Amino acid sequence: MDLLSQLMEHFSIRTGVFYSGNLCGVSSFNAQQGKEGHLHVLSAGELSLSSAHTEHRHLSQPCIVYLPNSTPHAIEGVGDGAEIVCANVEYRSGQMNPLLSALPDVIVIPFEDAPNLMPVIEVLSNESSQESSGQQYLMDKLSDALMALIFRHLIEQQKIDSGVFSALAHPRLASVVTAIHRLPARHYSIAEMASLAAMSRTQFIEAFKREVGETPGDYVQKWRVSVAQSLLLQNKPINWVADEVGYNSYSGFSRAFQHVAGVSPRLWLKQNVS
């Protein structure tokens, strides 16, 4: 499985369409404690977008608006309104997510800049315009596919200049990040990672920190903790989880976990299991 597919599965990224049609008034969206983002697909008309962290924007061309990080915002149809499909983007709660941490609060992708997304967008728009059997199910699955295409577009077009997206677009670092994610329990030395990247150790460390925004060691530790969080949410025993992500003892695992998450594994699990 390629790394993007692995990440989307690992973080259980799922969408749910909750509105499709003409938007004339104002719709407001509040923060959801990082558990979900929002996706708006503007196929016709004009839309006003305002959010807590960016300037007001007037969107007059068909586009995708993706707010990954539960950013409070409001959208309003302008004039005759806007033909729009709106979806929640849900993530597995509690986990550290390198996909989201690399993204800005608001992403706008004009249709004309992303022709590879158009086949799915067209089917989604057609499906939303008619009431037929299985409509909700199909729209949810189509918006799932659209999210994967959005992430692929951001990587291939190098739209994000830091974090895992930047590393995946890098001709040498991509293989290293893929290896780290594929085998979280393996202890890669700097020399081994540099060899995978076909770089000297100094070049590798500098390139990794420049592109990803942190050292290789810090990134590995955060990924291990993220994998551990996923396993803990599946009710796996803590000592077994520690071994699965490369720690020989609970004490070492607990120290690393607390360094990244701010709390012990047991307390984190208590806070994130309803």
Domains assigned to the chain: 3-156 (2.60.120.10), 170-272 (1.10.10.60)
List, for residues 126-138, the tens digit of each pLDDT value.
898 888 899 999 9
The answer to whether the Cα torsion of 241, 243, 246, 251 is positive or negative is: positive
Average pLDDT of the chain to the nearest whole number: 89
Single pTM value for the model: 0.80
Name 49's bridge partners: 57, 75
Task: Tell whether the torsion through CA atoms of 177, 183, 188 and 192 is positive or negative.
Answer: negative
Q: What residues contact 200, with CB distance under 8 A and at least 6 apart?
A: 194
Give me the pLDDT at residue 93, please. 60
Is the alpha carbon torsion for 260, 223, 150, 22 positive or negative?
A: negative
pLDDT band at 221 (very low <50, low <70, confident <90, very high): very high
237 pLDDT higher than 60: yes
State the pLDDT confidence band at 95, using cuts at 50, 70 and 90: low
> Which pLDDT band, with edges at 50, 70 and 90, does 274 fall under?
low
Spatial CA neighbour of 214 closest among 98, 62, 79: 98
Q: What proportions of the chain, in percent to the nearest 5, are helix, strand and coil?
A: 50, 20, 30
Quick one: pLDDT band at residue 267, thresholds 50, 70, 90? very high
For residue 77, the cross-strand partners are 47
- 32 has a pLDDT exceeding 70: no
C-alpha torsion 205→175→177→194, nearest 10? -20
Place of tokens 């992403």: 107
Most confident of 50-54, 93-97, 207-211: 207-211
3-class secondary structure, 44? strand
The confidence score (pLDDT) of residue 97 equals: 75
Q: How far is the CA of 77 from the CAs of 59, 71, 83, 130, 152, in angstroms?
A: 10, 19, 8, 21, 29
Backbone angles phi and psi of 119, in degrees to 5:
-55, -45
Mean pLDDT on 139-162: 88
Distances in whole angstroms, Cα of residue 257 to Cα of each of 9, 262, 272: 22, 7, 15
Alpha-helix residue ranges (DSSP H) falling in the chain: 3-10, 98-101, 118-128, 135-156, 163-169, 173-182, 190-196, 201-212, 216-233, 238-244, 250-261, 265-272
What pLDDT is stored for residue 25 in this prediction?
83
Residue 164 scores a pLDDT above 60: yes
